[in-house]
Amino acid sequence: MSRRLKPTAIVLGLLCLMYLITYVDRVNIATAANDIRRELHLTNTQLGVVFSAFAYPYLLFQVFGGWVGDRFGPRRTLFWCGVIWAAATIMTGLAGSLTTLFLVRVLLGIGEGATFPAATRAMQSWTPAGRRGFAQGITHACARLGNAITPPVVAALIALVTWRGSFAMLGACSLVWVIVWVVYFRDNPADHPHITDEELASLPGHGVRATVTRPQVPWAALTRRMLPVTMVYFCYGWTLWLYLNWLPSFFLNEYKLDVKQSAFFASAVFFAGVGGDLLGGTVSDRLAERTRDLRVARRNVIVAGFLGAFACLLPIFLTHDLTLITLSLAGGFFCTEIVIGPIWAIPMDIAPKYSGTASGLMNTGSAAAAIFSPLAFGYIADVTGNWHLPFAGSLALLLTGALLAPLMHPEQPFVEPR
């Protein structure tokens, strides 16, 4: 009897790999930041401007990219996204000034802006309804795995081929994924040559072999419906982007570590996020199956994640011990990432027909946070010289996210206006 992997498992594996690669390509600059800053003579504030450059087009392309994924399918959408972000990564190694570095980061944001909404659209078609939280959890766990492996990998590449060569090599790896994706994936699972009727029966639509729909999105109604989810995701995104952009520099500047040592501690913190993503998605799905109540399965898990992260980050202001600080940051990141699985399942719960667009609307919250969070951290670090103080904003927004979470109603499906 053949033990060949099912197409649904391979598609999920390809999406996991995409999440890992996109995060490697977006956070590699954080590890290379010290070398870039020295060579291009940048301040922390200017470096914050470079970090935030990614987020402007990333914000703009969330909703548009989600619509493109719904309208034209994730196969073509993710192919062109991959070509753009791979080219931008390679071109980062050619940047010679603040302006050119800013522009290639903008191009990277354009390429990656539609990736997660389009991937959510792919999951909507290729994932059974009872495994949505798990699918979102494991893909985002791979994104955090990308965060975790990037600091040591980039540090090693910098030592081997300089920071410029490291971007060229990572961009080439992205192109390999793009080719495999467009060859293997199909927008409609029924069009895949290796899928069986039994496997189709487990997917949304109950295995009906039909053409992919091209829905006309009710923009105003859907935007209003997703607004509370967007606000909650902004609160999550503030802490996420603070970690992604500044954590290696935090260890390097506050504790006077070298690049390899700071990469090691940053990697240890990011590995904690992998566990948080897996736990949040798995627990959310199990609660949904046991209680049949999406408020308990999604909202309550999200609130627990926010409050746990708040409690874990408090010791940052009470000690300067490197071990305790690392444990505090790791615990905070673990709990913050518990939010991911359930909150990315919510667009599929609320509006399955428009899951790409709905997830894009939600992810504008994180994209907006990606603009302001790195700017605020860099400015505060320059003005005060205190690398702990910027975490105060995270504490405030973690509490805010917990308070806003009850406004989300994943148990109420979106009703299209007549």
**What is the pLDDT at residue 210?**
45
Cα 311–chain centre separation: 23
- What residue type is assigned to position 416 of the chain? E
Q: Calculate the CA dihedral of residues 218, 405, 364, 183 and round it to 10 degrees.
A: -80
Domain regions of the chain by residue span: 7-201+217-407
CB 12 within 8 A of CB 126: yes
**Could you read off the pLDDT tens digit of each residue along the chain, which spans 418 residues?**
346 788 999 999 999 999 999 989 988 888 888 889 889 988 888 888 888 888 888 888 888 888 888 888 899 999 999 999 999 999 999 998 999 999 999 999 999 988 988 898 888 889 887 888 888 889 988 988 988 898 889 989 999 999 999 999 999 999 999 999 999 999 999 888 888 888 888 887 644 444 445 567 888 999 999 999 999 999 999 999 888 888 888 888 888 877 778 778 888 898 999 999 989 989 999 999 999 999 999 999 999 999 999 999 999 988 889 999 999 999 999 999 999 989 999 998 999 888 888 988 998 999 899 888 888 888 888 888 888 888 888 999 999 999 999 999 999 988 887 7
**What is the pLDDT at residue 205?**
64
Q: Match 């990469």 to its residue by tokens.
A: 263
- pTM equals 0.78
**What is the pLDDT at residue 134?**
86
CB atoms closer than 10 angstroms to residue 128? 14
Task: Please report the DSSP string for 281-293 in residue order.
Answer: HHHHHHHHHHH--
**What is the pLDDT at residue 87?**
96
**What is the pLDDT at residue 2?**
44
**What is the pLDDT at residue 339?**
95
Task: Please report the DSSP string for 23-54 in residue order.
Answer: HHHHHHHHHHHHHHHHHHT--HHHHHHHHHHT
61 — phi, psi (to 5°)? -90, 0
CATH, range 7-201+217-407: 1.20.1250.20
Residues in the chain: 418
Q: Which residues neighbour 388 within 8 Å (Cβ) at sequence distance 6 or greater? A: 254, 316, 317
